[in-house]
Structure 1
């Protein structure tokens, strides 16, 4: 295969093509925060009124040849926040992480699903994602190189599964829905995948990934 010239985006949804897009487009406008407030501008004041706790998640892009996939988890029903929801592995950034999102994302991923850091090649970040539940989340982008083994922590993770990157980056699979919250209509994205229902913060981060790299 003849390699693409520098600065040229590659077609398809392989891990290599994804990494090329991150290298070319991934550093644009990192200072522009994304979050729940983009679809609901009146939430700006609510988010700004309270201090946000820094957190990080890993967006794990698995190298599966021509068709990369994304690792997602289902949080257990006993979690204090976002219980039972589909999520990226991750959590709060602690002092032991030297307050670095990459260290926190890798540590939390290992604690939650047993994925060892030696299998992960970090390639970039997305802008911070601000939530009404009190978090400022830095999504860390990483290529996951097989073979690897997963060992989900039963206290935090009910299940682990993979979704084709091509499915998640297809805007036809992004549904803009709404519900009434605090007496107002609130909008959010959903991405149903079989019997898995991806929505909320996770769908918002996926949508950000699409808008930055593929739109």
Structure 2
């Protein structure tokens, strides 16, 4: 079982990799929100609503989105703002307990590189999310569940004519956890160990 206190301590001394060129690319940020439960630390996941043209429709992800001008080039502000907009949880930098490595990905709108910065927050109180049109559902997932080898699977990701095997978790009801979100969770769980 993963408890929140050791994760918080590990994040405090964790030298997360920040890509030097991130300010020259499109940027996005996500909020990795943790809370304590009887099962240990849990993470909030959002099921993205099905939308035409969205390559991640129906995927499990963290709340988050693009860094906009209103964020004054602050990725952590963007993570907080997007979390409020998407799931109705109002977090601030004061809730922050650390960050994970920047991830380089592809901005599918512009077919150009984009940097995603994950920030980790601790939620003390029990608050029910209020979802907007971008999110179909949320769920709290125990980090200990991710440590069970039997829960990890392989899926086929189809890119054009290619079919690439990718690690994933089947969260039930057709909900899969994979890709960048899974890579970020693997990083967090390795810190928790």
Give the alignment's TM-score, normalised by structure 2. 0.81
Q: Larger deviation: 132-141 or 103-112?
A: 132-141
Give the alignment's TM-score, normalised by structure 1. 0.74
Q: What secondary structure sits across from 1:194 in the alignment?
A: coil
1:188 is aligned to 166
The partner residue of 1:158 within 136, 150, 166 is 136
128 and 78 in structure 1: CA distance in 2 versus 1, 3 angstrom threshold: same
1:7 is aligned to none
Kindly indicate whether residue 30 of structure 2 is the aligned counterpart of residue 57 of structure 1: yes
Once the 2 structures are TM-superposed, how far is the Cα of residue 99 of structure 1 from its aligned partner?
Answer: 1.1
Once the 2 structures are TM-superposed, how far is the Cα of residue 32 of structure 1 from its aligned partner?
Answer: 6.6
Once the 2 structures are TM-superposed, how far is the Cα of residue 118 of structure 1 from its aligned partner?
Answer: 5.6
Q: What secondary structure sits across from 2:6 in the alignment?
A: helix
Determine the C-alpha separation between the residues in 1 that align with 2:25 and 2:172. 34
Query: For residues 146-194 of structure 1, what are the alpha-carbon distances to aligned partners after superposition, in whole Å with 9 as ceiling and x for unaligned?
Result: 13232111x11110111001112x1613335444534445343201123
1:30 is aligned to 17
How many residues get paired? 182
Determine the C-alpha separation between the residues in 1 that align with 2:62 and 2:166. 17
Once the 2 structures are TM-superposed, how far is the Cα of residue 130 of structure 1 from its aligned partner?
Answer: 1.6
> Is contact 1:128-1:138 (8 Å) kept?
yes
Q: What secondary structure sits across from 1:190 in the alignment?
A: strand
Determine the C-alpha separation between the residues in 1 that align with 2:61 and 2:31. 10
171 and 214 in structure 1: CA distance in 2 versus 1, 3 angstrom threshold: farther
CA root-mean-square deviation? 2.6
The partner residue of 1:78 within 46, 51, 70 is 51
Q: What secondary structure sits across from 1:102 in the alignment?
A: helix
Q: What secondary structure sits across from 1:84 in the alignment?
A: coil
> Is contact 2:152-2:169 (8 Å) kept?
yes
> Is contact 1:120-1:143 (8 Å) kept?
no
Uncovered stretches (5+) of structure 1, i.e. residues with no partner: 1-11, 34-50
The within-5 A match list for 1:121-132 is 121-132=95-106
